[in-house]
Chains A and B, each alone.
Chain A
């Protein structure tokens, strides 16, 4: 994939993003509001630094859902209905380059937000130094890839940018429930916990927590090397999602409106 060409599409998308108030709002303002609500709620007071880290990693997951997934579904659909995707396919860009270029600004915005949240968490909430930084970054990068691909798949089922509010619900709810409930659901039946664990956001949050804290919740924190063993399962789930979504995008992505 030619990065100069992708950048050309990405820059144009970034300009469009700057001119689209509702996309700006859901990508920039909503996570800030939630962050503000969380930090003033006292939820982080009781459990100390590790509870705060759990909250911050959940926030990072929320950024992936709102800024990357939700906004990108709407963007892919708008570009398809405006025939922008068809036009781009009339040019020299590969399909992957087109999808990447359009996703680029959202990914940049989301990454910047995650850096801000993590930094703010470290400074304001006194979070510990990450146990395994590469693992944390792997979780973030894998999360970005999964939610870009998931957005492309959801776009197939979405007729207009407005209807993205409805079509994104299953993924949004599934991910929120999955990643938020399952760490506290140790007593739940195995099937339920397995399903929740398999939701696309769960392995991402797991990897981030393992990388940062050395544990996904209750268990005692592990060190840099020891944590890798625990990371295997979430990493495998993440890879499986990426592989399945890649196939789905290749097979089913629609480049022009239905006629």
Chain B
């Protein structure tokens, strides 16, 4: 085990072009040893391309990618035994069974865990004799995860590990990932599910159109975004001036549906609003107050993209 203080994964200024399209346009981030780092982003933001660069499937056109201090493209041979990779799509031959697939994979590894142990970790023991073709999408994802951890990796790359899983399997997968983190494994994960990132990630980056737009600890990323208050106003009633709002009061009419206020001081704004409602005997239908969440941060990024 090397005792460097450098990050497990370091990406700096990475660019990657496919044909005429630049999928990744200068991405930088660092994954520290033992943490879970989540890459979020809209479809086509460049997450999978970034993962491919980290996994060493491709070489960046510009910039630098290091995994455990090695170049993942040129030093694939050194790195592979220490890396577990779960691709977005499994790539298992449809006519092999679950246990045949796992046995085949184990046969290619230096120091595999026992196949039955890994299949038990992902609850697939009962499906061992079933062909991959006949597995549900969720079962395939779990088999992919099993193969990714089969070689006892130090760094685990998970590209949308829970897509297609039912809520219970998703929870199970989270538990498994937490257990791996407790064992000291470093995890880089992409996901569409913001609650997944909020549950698991120590730090995260939000990508959009090939660049990292926001990055930091989950708390830091969330703190940069406003809380939301949503309600419906009765017809003909206008809102008073309220403190802490992000933008001027919308000129609200009841027929426009629910009002959404964005505030940096949720408690103050809400107290003021509720006081005003009581004094004027106004019913705020469907009142909802939500603190800033990753979803806000994400939607803000996606929204900027939509306006651009």
Contacts and interface: CB of A to CB of B under 8 A. Distances in A.
A12 interface: yes
Interface in B52-84: 55, 57, 77, 80-81
Contact of B85 (A16, A85, A90): A90
B92 A9 contact: no
Contacts of A86: 57, 87, 91
A161 to B, nearest CB: 13
B295 to A, nearest CB: 29
Interface string B87-116: 101111111100011011111111000000
Nearest to A94: B77
A87 B91 contact: yes
A92 B93 contact: no
A82 B106 CA distance: 20
Contacts of B105: 91
Given A82-B91, A84-B91, A87-B90, A11 B108 contact: no
A159 interface: no
A8 B90 CA distance: 18
Given A82-B93, A92-B110, A87 B87 contact: yes
Nearest to B48: A259
B178 to A, nearest CB: 23
Nearest to A6: B108
B226 interface: no
Contacts of B106: 8
B226 to A, nearest CB: 38
Contacts of B101: 12
Interface string A133-150: 000000000000000000
B95 A16 contact: yes
A5 B105 CA distance: 9
A213 to B, nearest CB: 42
The interface centre, meaning the residue of B85, B101, B104 with most chain A CB atoms within 10 A of its CB, is: B104
Given A84-B91, A86-B57, A87-B91, A93 B96 contact: no
Contact of A9 (B18, B77, B108): B108
A11 B104 contact: yes
Contacts of A12: 93, 96, 100-101, 104
Interface residue tally on A, bucketed by range? 20 to 34
Given A8-B104, A92-B108, A20 B95 contact: yes
A92 B83 CA distance: 9
A92 B85 CA distance: 11
Interface string B113-124: 000000000000
A16 B103 CA distance: 14
A74 to B, nearest CB: 14
Contact of B55 (A82, A90, A259): A90
A18 to B, nearest CB: 9
Given A12-B104, A15-B96, A92 B109 contact: yes
Contacts of A87: 87, 90-92
Contacts of B77: 94
A83 interface: yes
Interface in A4-36: 4-5, 7-9, 11-12, 15-16, 19-20
Interface in B8-59: 18, 55, 57
B270 to A, nearest CB: 48
A247 B125 CA distance: 44
B109 A91 contact: yes
A114 to B, nearest CB: 27
B151 interface: yes
A92 B81 contact: yes
Interface string B147-161: 000010000000000
Contacts of A7: 107
Given A83-B87, A83-B89, A87-B92, A92 B80 contact: yes
Nearest to B109: A92
A88 B108 contact: yes
Nearest to B85: A90
Contact of B96 (A4, A16, A83, A259): A16
B87 A5 contact: no
Nearest to B131: A19
The interface centre, meaning the residue of A12, A19, A84 with most chain B CB atoms within 10 A of its CB, is: A12
Contacts of A79: 93
Nearest to A93: B108
B91 A83 contact: yes
Nearest to B84: A90
Contact of A19 (B89, B95, B104, B151): B95
Interface of B: 18, 55, 57, 77, 80-81, 85, 87, 89-96, 100-101, 103-110, 151
Pairs of residues from A and B, 10 with the lowest C-beta to C-beta distance, nearest first: A8-B107, A83-B91, A87-B91, A90-B85, A12-B104, A92-B80, A19-B95, A5-B108, A91-B108, A84-B91
15 contacts: A5-B107, A7-B107, A8-B103, A11-B107, A15-B95, A16-B93, A82-B94, A83-B87, A84-B93, A86-B57, A91-B85, A91-B108, A92-B151, A93-B108, A256-B57
